[in-house]
Structure 1
């Protein structure tokens, strides 16, 4: 099983803060090492030059037979062994080592008789300077990292806040709110005179916000054009269909007359469905609420459909709803089950939840995933017309949720969950 990380660890702000922290630490460490090495080399070099200079003076005094000054001696016991061996071998050298608990810069060179002439220079001040420098580097690095992290977190938070706003607006648009806009300040048109306020340049977040707003405006315009087209077509068809229906009623009885009347009736039904969809699209439908017993209401809707649907009332409740619209939803679900599925068709009332199930091939995958779509067909087969689209629209007006699924043992299942139960 793969380990899971906490949700906050995947946010852009946390990732940016971690990146800034790591880069600041790496930069501070690099600069600290460079400064430490440079100052240490300079300090050690000065102390070495001083020690070698004193060793040169001590050598001259030794060769002249003068007594050695303080700090110079022949084969002192505190002289480091490596430096002693180097001097005995005929070479001069320096080394930093402790002498009586204090750091000391030693310089040693060869003397007569295989001995070593050594000079000790106090290195305590230089060691304290380097230690103080290291502490200053650590403190300044910590302060720099903290300040940079705060500034970076502030800048990243501003960006992520704008990204979250853009994402929230995108979710609203996907949910159907086409009036939602990001309206990022950096995408707003410039209205001030050029001499007063300079134009703010657009960044990548503003470009995304502007693209999202443009997409929403374009989508809204196309949807409104489609809605107007649907409404106009439906209205234009009503007048000729009314005349066609009247003319069909005057035809003499017979099979051709029955076919004509059947097609005219189908066209009238389609026109009325288009008009109903256009009214639902405008969002101006008004509810006429009343308290109804859900079981008897479902039975009336099934009787009106006249399809021989079985009604099962597991638990009856009273709901506050628009009776006409709810009967329209249930009637369309039952009619769709008989038209596109196979019997038996069962309508079940269980509290405020109503399910309509058939035993056919089930809903297409696109319908289960995305809901009904007008006149869509799948794989060349018959589509589901406008009945489910109208049922979904009327359910939204009622404040109910209509879902579509397929039963594990076969058949389509439409589930209507009413918003509230009356007490």
Structure 2
């Protein structure tokens, strides 16, 4: 069904309909003109034959040229001809011509209209063939024009989709000076403006994080010197939360940096996961179904798993389970699950969902690190309740992608 919604199909159909409509109007005009011309020629032929028959009858008293005297089958409009006058009549099948000779006698001739009807039928058939051929040619030309426009629009749409997915170097501009070119140029301008705003936001985030790092470090140290009571514990928790937020901001700025690199290593996934969760053994259940060696960066794996577990502990409910099955790590909890907005749109930095908590940085960092290592991170809600995050990394047998500088050096 989507094919019928295509621009080229609509253009081809529209051009074909217009061609058929124009052909129909022209055909009606030509058909009427041809019918009138043929009828008048037949009338002139009937009157000529009537003149000859009248002259022959007056001179010799003999009926010739198919003439009839006082023909009772004449239409009333012809039979009631006046004295010394001629009249003709066409009833759609025959042409009648009559002249009154005297009060008692009317001489008439009748010409069949079969030839006129056959000529009109042949003309209509020829017109129908020409209209069909014209419509087909118009549809083909419309299809070609529509394909040309559709290809340009699809190229612009593909570029827009690439820009939306993060390829900021992609451009949608199409050659020419028509509306499609203007639209794609405007799209590129919008993408460039959006990219500049994102760059400003990223620089601002990095600058704020760096500026806050030293004061927050001092706050952490000062909070540890406070006497142990409920108020000081609350201060320490809030300072620790502020420190994690600053660390997340710094991590985001490092990920967004154009010179960000990956320290590729062959990692024992079970060892990396258990090491990063060793301080959470009383709150997190870790199960290893199958061990695997993956090609990734240990620090990034630790950050991804830590963020997923922290999210489960903060927003979910126990039990929180981490299952290592080959190159796959699954983190699940028994809480209310991920918000529907998050599942539909994906993690977004500084986004607050229906639960009204969190900055959205933890899952965003997890997704960014996973993509950088060539893996995948799928977020979903379990049918029995609770959130589930499935991290899949590359096995060590799969070579990591080479950076541009590394490729140049190898060549």
TM over 0.5: yes
Corresponding residue of 1:410:
385
Deviation, structure 1 residue 309: 1.2
Given candidates 58, 61, 76, the residue that maps to 1:66 is 61
Taking the aligned partners of 1:17 and 1:285, their CA distance within structure 2 comes to 50
User: For 2:349, what is the secondary structure of its paired residue?
Assistant: coil
Given candidates 148, 154, 158, the residue that maps to 2:138 is 148
Corresponding residue of 1:321:
296
Corresponding residue of 2:161:
171
Taking the aligned partners of 2:344 and 2:312, their CA distance within structure 1 comes to 18
Per-residue CA deviation, residues 233-259 of structure 1 (Å, 9 max, x unaligned), is: 11112233344445556x465446665
CA 1:310 to 1:242, structure 2 compared with 1: closer, same or farther past 3 Å?
A: closer
Deviation, structure 1 residue 394: 1.0
User: For 2:276, what is the secondary structure of its paired residue?
Assistant: helix
Deviation, structure 1 residue 279: 1.0
Runs of 5+ unmatched residues, structure 1: 99-103, 187-199
Corresponding residue of 1:27:
22
Instruction: Tell me how large the CA RMSD over aligned residues is.
Output: 3.4
User: For 2:277, what is the secondary structure of its paired residue?
Assistant: helix
Deviation, structure 1 residue 327: 1.9
User: For 2:263, what is the secondary structure of its paired residue?
Assistant: coil
User: For 2:147, what is the secondary structure of its paired residue?
Assistant: helix
Deviation, structure 1 residue 278: 0.6
Runs of 5+ unmatched residues, structure 2: 82-86, 399-411
User: For 1:320, what is the secondary structure of its paired residue?
Assistant: strand
Given candidates 164, 171, 175, the residue that maps to 1:185 is 175
Per-residue CA deviation, residues 154-184 of structure 1 (Å, 9 max, x unaligned), is: 3222221221112112211221223322122
Deviation, structure 1 residue 306: 4.5
TM normalised by structure 2 equals: 0.82
CA 1:131 to 1:274, structure 2 compared with 1: closer, same or farther past 3 Å?
A: same
User: For 1:181, what is the secondary structure of its paired residue?
Assistant: coil
TM normalised by structure 1 equals: 0.80
Corresponding residue of 1:52:
47
User: For 2:319, what is the secondary structure of its paired residue?
Assistant: coil
User: For 2:249, what is the secondary structure of its paired residue?
Assistant: helix
CA 1:338 to 1:212, structure 2 compared with 1: closer, same or farther past 3 Å?
A: same
CA 1:303 to 1:56, structure 2 compared with 1: closer, same or farther past 3 Å?
A: same
Given candidates 203, 206, 215, the residue that maps to 1:240 is 215
Per-residue CA deviation, residues 121-160 of structure 1 (Å, 9 max, x unaligned), is: 5878766765664455345434433443333233222221
Taking the aligned partners of 1:53 and 1:164, their CA distance within structure 2 comes to 69
Taking the aligned partners of 1:183 and 1:85, their CA distance within structure 2 comes to 75
Taking the aligned partners of 1:90 and 1:242, their CA distance within structure 2 comes to 122
Matched residue count: 392
Taking the aligned partners of 1:378 and 1:97, their CA distance within structure 2 comes to 81
Corresponding residue of 2:34:
39
Deviation, structure 1 residue 298: 2.7
Corresponding residue of 2:283:
308
Taking the aligned partners of 1:421 and 1:391, their CA distance within structure 2 comes to 20
Deviation, structure 1 residue 344: 0.5
Superposition pairs for residues 233-272 of structure 1, below 5 Å? Answer: 233-247=208-222, 251=225, 253-255=227-229, 261-272=236-247
User: For 1:37, what is the secondary structure of its paired residue?
Assistant: helix
Corresponding residue of 2:332:
357
Matched, 1:368 2:324: no
Given candidates 310, 317, 338, the residue that maps to 1:335 is 310
* Native 8 Å contact 2:78 2:88 kept in 1: no
CA 1:8 to 1:421, structure 2 compared with 1: closer, same or farther past 3 Å?
A: farther
Deviation, structure 1 residue 28: 0.8
Taking the aligned partners of 1:75 and 1:340, their CA distance within structure 2 comes to 111
User: For 1:185, what is the secondary structure of its paired residue?
Assistant: coil
CA 1:33 to 1:97, structure 2 compared with 1: closer, same or farther past 3 Å?
A: closer
